[in-house]
């Protein structure tokens, strides 16, 4: 269970730091959460697949010594199937809820309160008047 918690915490920390970086870059909270989860999807899935792949030989081992640790491997494998769901959906949702509550309690307005125009590169300066 500690190994599973360690992988989930590591993935969550990396996801939250990516979302915080996107917020500092000026994205709204919703956009930062969606973009951060999208950016971290592949690394989280690959971490899960490599961990499960490393434990598969232990699951199918028939020796007496392996039977002692097979319950641990089974727990880790099935837990790893649910960890990407928690990391990619539950953690960003909690981060968004926590950020909204913090802003409401402190009375500050955040980037989501004001609609910012997107820069498209099609800006033209007005002609100078004489």
* Distance (Å, whole) CA 4 – CA 42: 18
In this predicted structure, what is the pLDDT of residue 123?
52
In this predicted structure, what is the pLDDT of residue 42?
92
Q: At 58, phi and psi to the nearest 5?
A: -70, -35
Q: Is the pTM of this model over 0.75?
A: no
In 3D, which of 43, 33, 36, 123 has the Cα closest to residue 83? 43
In this predicted structure, what is the pLDDT of residue 115?
46
Give the contacts of 62 (CB within 8 A, at least 6 positions apart): none
pLDDT per residue of the chain (130 residues) written in tens, 0 to 9: 777 888 888 889 999 999 999 999 999 989 999 999 999 999 889 988 998 899 899 888 888 888 888 998 888 888 888 888 888 889 999 988 998 898 889 886 655 544 454 555 555 555 556 5
Helices marked H in the chain: 2-24, 29-59, 64-85, 91-106
In this predicted structure, what is the pLDDT of residue 128?
58
**Best CATH choice for the domain 2-99 from the list 3.40.50.720, 3.30.70.100, 1.10.10.10, 1.20.1640.10:** 1.20.1640.10
Give the contacts of 52 (CB within 8 A, at least 6 positions apart): 77, 80, 81
In this predicted structure, what is the pLDDT of residue 122?
53
Domain boundary assignment for the chain? 2-99
């Amino acid at each position: 269970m500690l190994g599973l918690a360690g992988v989930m915490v590591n993935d969550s920390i990396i996801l939250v730091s990516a979302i915080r970086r996107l917020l500092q870059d000026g994205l709204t909270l919703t956009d930062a959460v969606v973009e951060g989860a999208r950016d971290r999807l592949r690394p989280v899935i690959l971490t899960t697949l490599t961990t499960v792949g490393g434990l598969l030989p232990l699951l199918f081992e028939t020796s007496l010594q392996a039977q002692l640790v097979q319950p641990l491997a089974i727990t880790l494998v099935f837990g790893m199937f649910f960890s990407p769901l928690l990391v990619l959906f539950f953690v960003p949702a909690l981060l968004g809820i926590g950020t909204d509550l913090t802003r409401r309690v402190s009375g500050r307005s955040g980037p989501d309160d004001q609609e910012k125009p997107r820069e498209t590169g099609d800006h033209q300066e007005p002609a100078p008047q004489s």
